[in-house]
Every structure is written in C-alpha cells, then in structure tokens.
Amino acid sequence: MSTTPRISLLVSTYNWPQALACVLEAIRHQTQHPLEVIVADDGSGDDTRTLLAQQARTFPVPLHHVWHPDAGFRAAAIRNRGIAQAQGEYIVQIDGDILLHPAALAAHARFAQRGSFVQGSRALLSAERTQSLLAGEAAEVGRRVATLGPWSRGVHGMLNAWYAPALSRWVRGSRDTVHRIRGCHIAFWRDDILRVNGYDESYEGWGREDSDLTLRLGHAGLMRRNLKFSAVAFHLWHPAAARDALDRNTHALETARLEQRVRARRGIAEHALHIAHVAPSSLSQSDAP
C-alpha cells in the first residue's frame, strides 16, 4: 500500500444547506483533494438534496449523498452507511459545519499512521463571523477561510487556528481514547473501523457515539494521535443541540468501558450489502428502506 493513503472525506449533515455549501466550497479549495466526498445526511429535506445535485455537476471529485429518513439524531447510523460505501482506505470525518483550511487534507495524508486514529482540532467562529461567511458568496468561502488565523476577528481558540505545520510532529496531547474526543474532526483507517463494527447505532440522540467508537478502537489496540497546527479547521457557530439523551448515552459508554467492548453491538455490519467498494459516480444517492 502507498505511504500516502487515498482519503474518503465523510461530511455529516442535517438540514443546514447554507453551512454545507460553505463546507463544500472549502473542500474545493484543498491543495490535495480527497478520492471522494461522502455526505452522510441524517434525514435532511429537499433543499440539501438539491444543493448536492447542483454541486455534483462541477465538483472536482465524486460526490456521494448517503441519506436515511429523519427519525431523530442518528449520527452513528448514517456515518456507518457512509463508511460502508467509502472507497478510500483512510477516512477523514468532519461535520457539515466545519470549514477546512486549504492544506488540511494534505496534512491528514502526511500524518496518517497505521496502528492509530487521529483526533483533529478546530477553532470556534463567533456568531457574527459565522453569519458573515454564510451571508457572502459561497464561491468566496475558500479564499476567506485561507485568511483566517489566531488573531482574526471572531475566531476563538487561537492555538487551534494557528497554521504552523512544522510544529505538528511535536504535539503529543492526550493519549486517552475518550478524553476531549470530538467526532466533528477525526480520522481513522477504514479497515480498523470495520474491525470494531463501526459506530454503535444503539446510540441515538446527541452525545457519546464518537467517544464509544474511539473507546473501542483503544480496546482493539489502536493509539490516539492528535493533529494540530496543520489540519486547521473552523467550526461555524450554531445553537447547542438538545441533550436529552446524554445521560442515557453516558451510561452506555461506561458500560462499554467496563466490558472492555471492542465491537459495536449494532454497527456497520448492519450495512453488509454496502461494505464492498462501490463504483464512483458524479452523485450517488443511497436511501434507507
């Protein structure tokens, strides 16, 4: 296998096409494009479907839309559907409100290392800076993201906004596979995800599905590595999600920890028909029954 992996970029979204348009524009401006982009859609309406159909006509790589009906927060399930169809051996996963610095995917390709998964970082954008980006021309987003930095107005978390790739190799950070895990910017080898049966789809409602995944990756012997200063990402502001399921999901996470669980109870094997690689197309649509 090449030392530079083929990257499938997985983008999670739900009913925010304005943000998704900006995210896709930032992806267009990457210095190294992924093999494909898979939009894992947790039940958005027709506006998102229309946006993706329009984007696919000129997008620089195959753009896939993986969708299931809206039945509440089911990020684990839709991410599994996307990963099952991915053709790249390495998955970089972001949320549909994460704007990537132009060099972010090139940094992920350099940093990828067998026997590990990667936690990326992100700087937070203020409500005002977010509104400014969303209100402008989408085609300008890539250029504007490239100019953001630690001292830019409306950027919070200056260390996470600092592009200094020479420092990336010296960052250690937490080795705990759960502490400060953020599924909004994370990367892993596809075969490692299949080995632990992907995300556990019994996690429904916001919270802990990403921590459960990385906990089980650790139980499978994988090391956490932290990528800072080169795969810079900016998180658009939005109101906090409802956390009604957080206590239940936290209890499930603690159970998985006590049991030293490796494989998801209900995971990517549920999508076995799609685990074989699929042929790329300008836009593929996958709907759950």
Distance CA 265, CA 256 (A): 10
110: helix, coil or strand? helix
Task: Tell me the average pLDDT of the chain.
Answer: 90
Q: What is the mean pLDDT of residues 101-120?
A: 96
The pLDDT tens digits for 233-253 are 999 999 888 788 889 999 999
| DSSP conformation letters of 200-212 | -TT--SSSSHHHH
Which pLDDT band, with edges at 50, 70 and 90, does 171 fall under? confident
- Which helix (H) or strand (E) element contains residue 171? none
Rounded to two decimals, the pTM is: 0.91
Phi/psi region, residue 207 (left: phi>0; alpha: psi -120 to 50; beta: rest), is left
Distance CA 76, CA 53 (A): 24
pLDDT of residue 274: 61
pLDDT of residue 137: 73
pLDDT of residue 181: 86
User: Could you give the percent of the chain with pLDDT greater than 70?
Assistant: 92
Task: Tell the burial category of 91 from Cβ atoms under 10 Å away from its Cβ (0-12, 13-18, 19+).
Answer: buried
Distance CA 26, CA 94 (A): 12
Helix residue ranges, H only, the chain: 17-28, 46-56, 75-85, 104-111, 127-135, 141-147, 190-195, 209-219, 246-258
Residue with tokens 């019994």: 202
Output the six-digit token pair for 218: 């650790």
Cα 58 to its chain centre, rounded Å, is 22
Residue with tokens 């906990």: 215
Q: At what angle do helices 46-56 and 17-28 cross, to 10 degrees?
A: 20
Output the six-digit token pair for 17: 């096409």
Is residue 188 within 8 A of residue 217, CB to CB? The reply is yes
Task: Tell the burial category of 248 from Cβ atoms under 10 Å away from its Cβ (0-12, 13-18, 19+).
Answer: middle
Q: Which domains does the chain have, with CATH numbers?
A: 7-266 (3.90.550.10)
Output the six-digit token pair for 208: 């802990």
